[in-house]
């Protein structure tokens, strides 16, 4: 095994988030622009190319890989990719919108992918249709309950937006009374095409204050690289957490690298620059010097930007959840 990937701030990077595909079967307004500009097919990674780049990262001691999208389950060769990665001795997880998960449940069991994050921003069917531009709320909720019953470790991710779903914080917490899963509230972040402004962003302190009006909760211990601050209502089966990317960032312990469906590498979610690994691979040029340089140059926080709200970045659907 090669030396691990370490940046100039001493952070070891051993967690790779891989966007398998840009496209999605939902059209969430905070994630996908109304008129997305998709990457041409010949500029996307083939199965062989994607796995070759992933293997390069594994050789540096990557211990965890999360499969994302778009919606990862719409990629036709998802089964081939999962089968390959399941034999590599790494921790596998996936982020999905939950619409298609029931069709792949046997495959996930077979290859040991037991950690599933499901994006769900509301518990109100009509509001779900408004946010996602699709009417599949009952299907998603049914599949979440199925995953819990099937023994998967489930996290439900909810992006909290003022005036849209910020009145549902306690409703989601109530969901953890009987369901042994984690509900995570995410501060609304700016990406191209999602019409972000700071008035729509609900901070972690406000979320906690509003939840405390109904529930008494306790702080739980977080892991060394956790992006989530965890809490539990005593007596509840599950727990809830808050991802405070905007107001209380966790960049000091960041161990994450992002690989996009077009073979580009991002060393930070908020970076405005990508590094094209796919072109290097197709030319037969070594990837290691470029990967190490990009990691080494990683900024201490938020890609070195003082105001990430005013920078240009890819849309969330292009980066991966």
pLDDT tens series, the chain, 321 aa? 799 999 999 999 999 999 999 988 887 777 776 777 788 999 999 999 999 999 999 999 999 999 998 899 999 999 999 999 999 999 999 999 999 999 999 999 999 999 999 999 999 999 999 999 889 999 999 999 999 999 999 999 999 999 999 999 999 999 999 999 999 999 887 655 445 556 778 999 999 999 999 999 999 999 999 999 999 999 999 999 999 988 888 788 999 999 999 999 999 887 878 899 999 999 999 999 999 999 999 999 875 454 545 555 555 555 655
Half-sphere exposure of 191 (CA within 13 A, CB side): 23
Pick the closest to residue 283 from 49, 83, 37, 79 (CA basis): 49
pLDDT score of 249: 80
Full residue range of the structural domain in which residue 117 is found: 5-319
**Number of compact structural domains in the chain:** 1
- Structural contact between residues 258 and 320, judged by C-beta atoms closer than 8 angstroms: yes
pLDDT score of 194: 47
pLDDT score of 124: 97
The backbone region for 66, taken as left when phi is positive above 0, alpha when psi lies in -120 to 50, beta otherwise, is beta
> Residue 286 maps to which CATH number?
3.20.20.70
CA distance 152 to 112: 10
Pick the closest to residue 128 from 155, 168, 101, 74 (CA basis): 168
pLDDT score of 104: 97
């Amino acid at each position: 095994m090669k030396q691990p990937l370490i940046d100039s701030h001493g952070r070891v990077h051993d967690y790779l988030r891989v966007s398998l595909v840009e496209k999605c079967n939902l059209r969430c307004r905070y994630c996908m622009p109304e008129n997305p500009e998709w990457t041409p097919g010949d500029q996307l990674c083939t199965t062989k190319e994607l796995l070759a780049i992933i293997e390069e990262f594994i050789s540096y001691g990557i211990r965890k890989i999360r499969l994302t999208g778009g919606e990862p389950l719409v990629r036709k060769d998802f089964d081939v990719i999962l089968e390959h990665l399941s034999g590599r001795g790494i921790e596998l997880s996936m982020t999905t919108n939950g619409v298609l998960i029931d069709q792949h449940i046997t495959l996930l069991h077979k290859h040991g992918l037991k950690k599933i994050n499901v994006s769900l921003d509301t518990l109100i069917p009509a509001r779900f249709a408004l946010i996602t531009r699709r009417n599949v709320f009952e299907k998603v909720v049914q599949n979440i309950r199925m995953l819990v019953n099937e023994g998967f470790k489930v996290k439900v991710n909810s992006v909290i937006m003022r005036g849209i779903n910020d009145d549902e914080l306690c409703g989601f917490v109530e969901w953890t009374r009987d369901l042994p899963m984690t509900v995570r509230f995410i501060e609304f972040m700016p990406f191209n095409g999602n019409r972000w402004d700071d008035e729509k962003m609900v901070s972690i302190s406000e979320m906690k204050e509003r939840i405390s009006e109904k529930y008494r909760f306790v702080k739980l211990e977080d892991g060394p690289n956790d992006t989530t601050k965890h809490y539990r209502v005593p007596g509840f089966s599950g727990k809830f957490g808050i991802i405070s990317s905007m107001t209380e960032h966790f960049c000091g312990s960041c161990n994450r690298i992002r690989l996009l469906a077009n073979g580009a590498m991002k060393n930070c979610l908020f970076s405005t620059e990508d590094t094209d690994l796919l072109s290097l691979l197709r030319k037969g040029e070594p990837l290691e010097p470029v990967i190490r340089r990009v990691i080494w140059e990683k900024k201490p926080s938020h890609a070195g930007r003082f105001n990430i709200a005013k920078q240009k970045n890819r849309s969330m659907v292009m980066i991966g959840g």
